[in-house]
Chain A
Amino acid sequence: MTALTALSALLTGCGGGGGDSSGASNAPEVLNTPFGTVQGAPPKAEGAPVEGDWIVILLEAEPATLNPSLEISDSYTQRITDGYGGNIFETMLVSNRETQAEEPWIAERWEISEDKLTYTFYLRKDVTFSDGKPLTAQDVLFTYESIMNTANLTADKRSYLVDFESAIALDEYTVQFKAKQPYFLHLDVLGSLQILPKHIYGEGNFNEHPANRAPVGSGPYRFEKWDTGQQLVIAKRSDYWGPKKPLVNQIHYKFITDNNAAFQLLRRGEVDEMRLTPEQWVRQASQPDITSQYQKYTLYSPVDGYGSSFGWIGWNATKPFFSDKRARQAMTMLLDRDTIGKTIYHGLVRVVTGQAFPDSPSYDKTIAPWPFDPAAAKALLDQAGWVDSDKDGIRDKDGVPFKYEWIYPSGSPEYEQLATVYKEELTKAGIDVTLRPLEWASFLESVNKRSFDACSMAWVSPMKGDPYQIWHSSQITNGSNYVNFANPEADKIIEEARLEFDDEKRDAMYRRFHAILHEEQPYTFLFNSQRKVAISNRFQGVTPYALGFDMRDWWVPLDQQRYK
Chain B
Amino acid sequence: MRNYLIRRFLLIIPTFLGISLITFMIVQMAPGSPIYMRLHQAGGSGGSAITQEAIEQTKKLYGLDKPLPVRYVMWLGKLATFDFGTSYKDNRPVLTKIAETIPVTLQLNLISILAIYLIAIPIGVYSATHQHTRGDTALTLGLFILYSLPSFWVAMLLMYYFCGGAHFNWFPAAGVSSYDANSLGAFAWLRDRAWHLILPVLCLSYNGLAGLSRYARAGLIETIRQDYVRTARAYGFSERTVIYRYALRNSLIPIVTLLGGLIPSLIGGSVIIESIFSIPGMGRLAFEAILSRDYPLIMGILSITALLTLLGLIVSDILYALVDPKIKFS
Partner-B contacts on A (CB < 8 A) = 1, 3-8, 15-19, 64-65, 70-75, 77-78, 150-151, 153, 155-160, 162, 207-208, 212-213, 227-231, 252, 254-258, 260-265, 267-268, 287, 289, 304-306, 309, 439-446, 448, 459-460, 469-470, 478-480
Contact of A478 among B40, B52, B61, B275 (CB under 8 A): B52
Contact of B280 among A75, A228, A289 (CB under 8 A): A228
| A414→B172 CA distance, assembly (Å) | 30
Asked if B90 is at the interface (CB within 8 A of a chain A CB), the reply is yes
Are A6 and B292 neighbours in the complex by a CB distance under 8 Å?
no
* Interface SS of B by simple majority: loop
Chain B window 276-290, contacts with chain A (Cβ cutoff 8 Å), 1 for yes, 0 for no: 111010001000000
Contact of A258 among B33, B50, B91, B276 (CB under 8 A): B276
Asked if B185 is at the interface (CB within 8 A of a chain A CB), the reply is no
Chain B window 39-70, contacts with chain A (Cβ cutoff 8 Å), 1 for yes, 0 for no: 11111111111111011011001000000000
Q: Which residues of A contact B165 (CB under 8 A)?
A: 263-264, 267-268, 289
Are A17 and B277 neighbours in the complex by a CB distance under 8 Å?
no
Q: Which residues of A contact B40 (CB under 8 A)?
A: 5-6, 444
Total residues of chain B contacting the partner, CB 8 A: 55
| B234 → A minimal CB distance (Å) | 58
Known: A7-B43, A72-B90, A479-B51. 12 other contacts (CB 8 A): A64-B89, A74-B42, A78-B44, A153-B91, A157-B46, A228-B280, A229-B284, A258-B174, A261-B173, A262-B174, A264-B173, A305-B44
| A158→B55 CA distance, assembly (Å) | 12
Contact of B58 among A71, A75, A261 (CB under 8 A): A71
Are B174 and A441 neighbours in the complex by a CB distance under 8 Å?
no
| A8→B39 CA distance, assembly (Å) | 12
Are B49 and A160 neighbours in the complex by a CB distance under 8 Å?
yes
In the complex, residue of chain A having the shortest beta-carbon distance to the beta carbon of B39: A156
| A55 → B minimal CB distance (Å) | 14
| B21 → A minimal CB distance (Å) | 22
| A252→B178 CA distance, assembly (Å) | 14
Q: Which residues of B contact A265 (CB under 8 A)?
A: 173-174
Are B41 and A75 neighbours in the complex by a CB distance under 8 Å?
yes
Are B166 and A469 neighbours in the complex by a CB distance under 8 Å?
no
| A455→B31 CA distance, assembly (Å) | 17
Q: Which residues of B contact A213 (CB under 8 A)?
A: 90, 92
Are A260 and B49 neighbours in the complex by a CB distance under 8 Å?
no
| B131 → A minimal CB distance (Å) | 39
Choose, from B8-16, B156-164, B301-309, the stretch at the interface.
Answer: B156-164
Are B42 and A260 neighbours in the complex by a CB distance under 8 Å?
no
- Known interface pairs A5-B47, A153-B61, A441-B33. Does A231 touch B179 (Cβ–Cβ under 8 Å)? yes
In the complex, residue of chain B having the shortest beta-carbon distance to the beta carbon of A442: B31
Are A153 and B49 neighbours in the complex by a CB distance under 8 Å?
no
- Known interface pairs A5-B45, A73-B44. Does A257 touch B284 (Cβ–Cβ under 8 Å)? yes
Q: Which residues of A contact B55 (CB under 8 A)?
A: 155
Q: Which residues of B contact A252 (CB under 8 A)?
A: 179
| A264→B171 CA distance, assembly (Å) | 11
Among B33, B48, B51, B174, chain A packs the most CB atoms within 10 A around the CB of: B48
Q: Which residues of A contact B280 (CB under 8 A)?
A: 228-230
| A257→B279 CA distance, assembly (Å) | 9
Are A229 and B50 neighbours in the complex by a CB distance under 8 Å?
no
Asked if B100 is at the interface (CB within 8 A of a chain A CB), the reply is yes
Partner-A contacts on B (CB < 8 A) = 30-33, 36-52, 54-55, 57-58, 61, 86, 88-92, 100-101, 156, 159-160, 163-166, 169, 173-175, 179, 275-278, 280, 284, 291-293
| A155→B46 CA distance, assembly (Å) | 10
Are B43 and A72 neighbours in the complex by a CB distance under 8 Å?
no
Are B91 and A255 neighbours in the complex by a CB distance under 8 Å?
no
Q: Which residues of A contact B44 (CB under 8 A)?
A: 5, 73-75, 77-78, 305
Are B91 and A212 neighbours in the complex by a CB distance under 8 Å?
yes
Q: List 8 A-B contacts (CB under 8 A).
A: A5-B40, A7-B43, A8-B43, A71-B39, A72-B38, A72-B41, A74-B43, A268-B169
Are A155 and B159 neighbours in the complex by a CB distance under 8 Å?
no
Are B174 and A3 neighbours in the complex by a CB distance under 8 Å?
no
Q: Which residues of A contact B90 (CB under 8 A)?
A: 64-65, 72, 212-213
| B329 → A minimal CB distance (Å) | 42
In the complex, residue of chain B having the shortest beta-carbon distance to the beta carbon of A305: B43
Are B91 and A155 neighbours in the complex by a CB distance under 8 Å?
no
Q: Which residues of B contact A151 (CB under 8 A)?
A: 61
Are A156 and B46 neighbours in the complex by a CB distance under 8 Å?
yes
| A260→B160 CA distance, assembly (Å) | 8
Contact of A470 among B48, B159, B173 (CB under 8 A): B48
In the complex, residue of chain B having the shortest beta-carbon distance to the beta carbon of A258: B276
| B250 → A minimal CB distance (Å) | 45
| A559 → B minimal CB distance (Å) | 23
| A527→B38 CA distance, assembly (Å) | 25
By Cβ-Cβ distance, the 5 closest A-B pairs, closest first, are A229-B280, A441-B32, A267-B165, A155-B54, A75-B43
| B157 → A minimal CB distance (Å) | 8
Q: Which residues of A contact B278 (CB under 8 A)?
A: 255-258, 261
Are B36 and A448 neighbours in the complex by a CB distance under 8 Å?
yes
Are A441 and B37 neighbours in the complex by a CB distance under 8 Å?
yes
Are B284 and A155 neighbours in the complex by a CB distance under 8 Å?
no
In the complex, residue of chain A having the shortest beta-carbon distance to the beta carbon of B169: A268
Q: Which residues of B contact A155 (CB under 8 A)?
A: 39, 50, 54-55, 57-58
